[in-house]
Amino acid sequence: MNAKKLLPSILSFFLLLSLVTPSIEVSAAVSPAYAESLVKIAETNGTKLKKQISYEYNKALTYPDMKLFNQTKDSYAKALKAVSSLKNGTTKTNLQSRLATNVKLHIDRAVAYIDALTGGKKIEALTKDLRHQVDNEILMLPRTSEYYHKLSFEIRKQAILLYRVYGKSTRDAILAKYKAPGEAVKNELAHFVTVYDLVQSANNELSYEEVDIYYIIDLLVAANDMLSTIKPDHVQMALQSDIVKIVQEFSAISEYEFEGPMFDTVFSEDFYQTSLVVNFDMMTHIEKVPYELESPFVYNQTQIISFEFIGYEYTVFIYPYDSTPGASPRFYILDISFIQ
């Protein structure tokens, strides 16, 4: 066959193919009956999934059968694709509504339920570790504060996830199993972690080349004020020991910034119950100045007190380390500032 005869034959073939193609597309169109059959399969899966995420039905907080969950999503996707290809009309609208109400709704609720359980298990693991530390009184560890803050974050996140979970009984069960024990151990550790974090912040500030004196004093005052709330006693003493070490280092640094007269002794005529006498070094003489105490000194209970003298304000850390009645406490001057 020569080239002139071959060209018309090729053109005729492609013309015939273009005429046949539309008929193929029409024959592939989905029928309403077929689309509904796919919807029914998806609805069956949706109903099964609905039961698996209901605490009222199962009386247990467990993940749904993930094979069923994936089957439900797949059958929903196939049914939705088939229904979407139908001509607009009552049949298409009804099938779309059934898919939304009987399938998609349960898939969305299952996702929320799974997310809530996953978050709950994170809370459970952190709670278990912190409960072990509390029960065994091993709190002076960096991970205690770290896990406490992680637990706080997960509990806050859980509140958002829980809001999406369907069914009050299911939400209540999740709260009881995960959030309530987490909140309980969190409350027990709240004061300890607060003081621990304050002490660590003060210690970190001391490590910088330029130290914010008043920031450290604020941290020390806040930490020391809460010491009496810490239980057990040996944990309180460990925190106090850390505070004293920071005060000693801080006092040695800050004394170069002091402006007013110094003092090197304090005493009391009533065993530090209501009064304190400070001996100020005036270069030419010692000046004794009495001050009223807001609260009596107690053995091994540190205080941070303030008083004024000739236009200066003194901030002093008091440490009654000696149990002998009337014994002079150790003291560390934290700041001497001119009163504007």
pLDDT value at residue 17: 44
Mean pLDDT of the chain: 90
Residue 28 pLDDT class (50, 70, 90 cuts): low
Cβ within 8 Å of residue 296, ≥6 positions away: 272, 273, 274
Token reading at 170: 């299911």
3-state secondary structure of 104: helix
- β-partners of residue 332 are 317
Which residues contact residue 140 at a Cβ distance below 8 angstroms, ignoring those fewer than 6 apart? Answer: 196, 235, 238, 239
* Range name among 16-20, 200-204, 269-273 with the lowest pLDDT average: 16-20
For the chain, the domains span 28-207, 257-338
Task: Tally the C-alpha atoms within 13 A of residue 42's C-alpha that lie toward its C-beta.
Answer: 30
Q: How far is CA 257 from the centre of its chain?
A: 39
Biggest CA-to-CA distance, the chain: 132
- Which one, of 164, 56, 179, 169, lies nearest residue 114 by Cα? 164
Answer whether 239's CB lies under 8 Å from 247's CB. no
pTM of the model: 0.81
| Predicted local distance difference test score (pLDDT) of residue 320 | 94
pLDDT over 90 for what percent of the chain?
Answer: 81
Q: State residue 259's pLDDT score.
A: 81
Helix (H) or strand (E) holding 20: helix 3-27
Confidence (pLDDT) at 258: 85
Residue 288 sits at φ, ψ, to 5 deg, of: -95, 125
End-to-end CA distance of the chain: 113
